[in-house]
Amino acid sequence: MRVLSLAGRRLAASIPTLFLILIGVFLLLQLAPGDTVDALMAQMGGGDAATAKQLREFYGLDLSVWAQLGNYLWRLVRLDLGFSAIYGKPVATVIAERLPATILLMTASLSFAFFFGLILGVVAARGVNKWPDTLISTLGLMFYAMPTFWFGLMAIVVFSIYLQWLPAGGFEDITVSYTGLRRTLDIALHLVLPTLTLGLFYMAIYLRIMRGSMLEVLNLDFVRTARSKGMDETRVVVRHVLRNALLPMVTLIGLQAGTMLGGSVVVESVFSLPGLGRLAYESVIQRDLNTLLGIVFVSALLVIAVNFIVDLLYARLDPRITTGS
């Protein structure tokens, strides 16, 4: 099981990275003016200095920066993400409430981008410099160049307001409480536009990568060998080219899992989805350090998990990895 030990080593190597990120974010936020108590006081409509002092003591904000950091890391080691003063709940609960929407959005966008990027890339490469290629490449460039928020807004204008086919925002219809399959369908309908908005950008990237690597692999010697065996072109592509061409794409997915989390902040804001991205934005505004660090922690875990899966997948796709030569 060389693959597992290899991937396991990568996993172990990412733990120090995780701590460095957390410490970095923690220190960075100390530089921002104001803290949780300031935000709380503002919410309450103001208060006197004594209350503020009391609150600071209660949340441990009167300690030195290093002591606060030490406290936080010590709690983290015990898998305690702390308590959110703003939401009045443990951070773990706050994040758990928001996580499903983000994971759903990310998985859906990624699958969409991967699947269609792959298909369109293959179609473009097979008809290189003919009209399908030109059409697909032009569309790809358009999606790549269009700002995500603008694309989201335009999608709302066309599909929700003008055509009224799809809901304009939210995770599900809160005016009626559906259950079971009907609820699933409702959520799916709500996610169509956000998924497209986030996914089309990545699809454009994958499509270009796939087209390029297909063209490269099609020129390799073993493709000529396959043709000289008497294999037809479709079979050559499916059995010999595709898997080789997929390798760069798979690498890219691992790299972009993090970027996609960032992109979801914009999309979640545009479509008012209760997701992690929006939560991160709100906790920055409200100086909710505990929640923010919790989000950083969870999203880092997500990225690490995705990379772990990508590592395994890559080893599955490419036998040269496992023997380590």
Partner 1 sequence: MSPILVLDDVSVKLPAGGDRAHAMANVSLALAANEILCVVGESGSGKSMTANAIMRLLPGGVTIDGGRILFEGRDLCGLSEAEMRKVRGAGIAMIFQEPMTALNPLRSIGDQIGEMFELHSELSAAEIKARTLALLEEVRIPDPALAFKAYPHELSGGQRQRAMIAMALALDPKVLIADEPTTALDVTTQAQILKLIRDLQRRKGTAVLFITHDFGVVAEIADRVAVMSKGEVVEAGETEAVLGNPQHAYTRQLIAAVPPLKAPPARTLSDEPIMTIAHVSKTYRTGGFLGRGQRVTHAVKDVSLVLPKGATLGIVGESGSGKSTLARCLVRLIDPESGEIRLNGIDLASLSREEMRSATRHIQMVFQDPFASLNPRRKAGEAVAQGLIVHGMARPQALARAKELFGLVGLDPAATERYPHEFSGGQRQRIGLARALALEPAVLVADEPVSALDVSVQAQVLKLLAELRQRLGLSIVFITHDLRVAAQVCDLVAVMKSGEVVEAGPIGTVFSEPQHPYTQALLASIPGRDFGEGRELAHEPVA
Min dist. Cβ of residue 221 to partner 1 (A) = 4
The whole-angstrom separation of Cα 324 and Cα 307 is 19
The residue (of 53 and 243) whose beta carbon lies closer to partner 1 is 243
Q: Which of 243, 209, 247, 210 is nearest to 226 (CA)?
A: 243
With binding defined as CB under 8 A, does residue 56 bind partner 1? no
Q: Does 243 bind partner 1 (CB under 8 A)?
A: yes
Q: Is 176 helix (H, G, I), strand (E, B) or coil?
A: coil
Judged by beta carbon, residue 40 or residue 209, the one nearer partner 1 is 209
Site track for partner 1 across 295-324, x = CB under 8 A? ----------------------xxxx--xx
Q: Decide: residue 234, CB within 10 A, 0-12 exposed, 13-18 middle, 19+ buried.
A: exposed
Among residues 56, 153, 227, 312, the one that binds partner 1 under rule CB under 8 A? 227
Q: Please say whether the dihedral angle defined by the alpha carbons of residues 195, 200, 205 and 209, taken in this order, is positive or negative.
A: positive
**Contact between 164 and partner 1 (CB under 8 A)?**
no
Q: Please, which residues bridge with residue 84 across strands?
A: 89
Give the integer Cα–Cα distance in Å for 103 and 137. Answer: 29
Our finding on whether 234 is near partner 1 (CB under 8 A) is: no
Q: Does 2 bind partner 1 (CB under 8 A)?
A: no
Which among 29-37, 202-210, 231-239, 257-265 is the span making contact with partner 1, rule CB under 8 A?
231-239
Contact (CB, 8 A) for 102 and 275: yes
CB of 133 to partner 1, least distance (A): 14
Binding residue (CB under 8 A) for partner 1 from 16, 45, 46, 230: 230
Phi, psi of 47 (to 5 degrees): -170, 180
Decide whether 88 or 324 has the Cβ nearer to partner 1: 324
The reply on whether position 16 binds partner 1 by CB under 8 A is no
Listed in order, strand segments (DSSP E) in the chain are 83-84, 89-90
Taking the complex as a whole, how short is the minimal distance between the CB of residue 230 and partner 1, in angstroms?
4
Binding-site member from 67, 154, 157, 220 for partner 1 (CB under 8 A)? 220
Residues paired with 90 in a beta bridge: 83
Residue 319 near residue 307, CB atoms below 8 Å: no
Return the residue of 39, 123, 231, 296 that touches partner 1, per CB under 8 A.
231
In angstroms, rounded to a whole number, what is the distance separating the alpha carbons of residues 158 and 168?
Answer: 10
Token duo for residue 204: 């454009």
Contacting positions for partner 1 (CB under 8 A)? 9, 220-222, 224-232, 239-240, 243-244, 317-320, 323-325
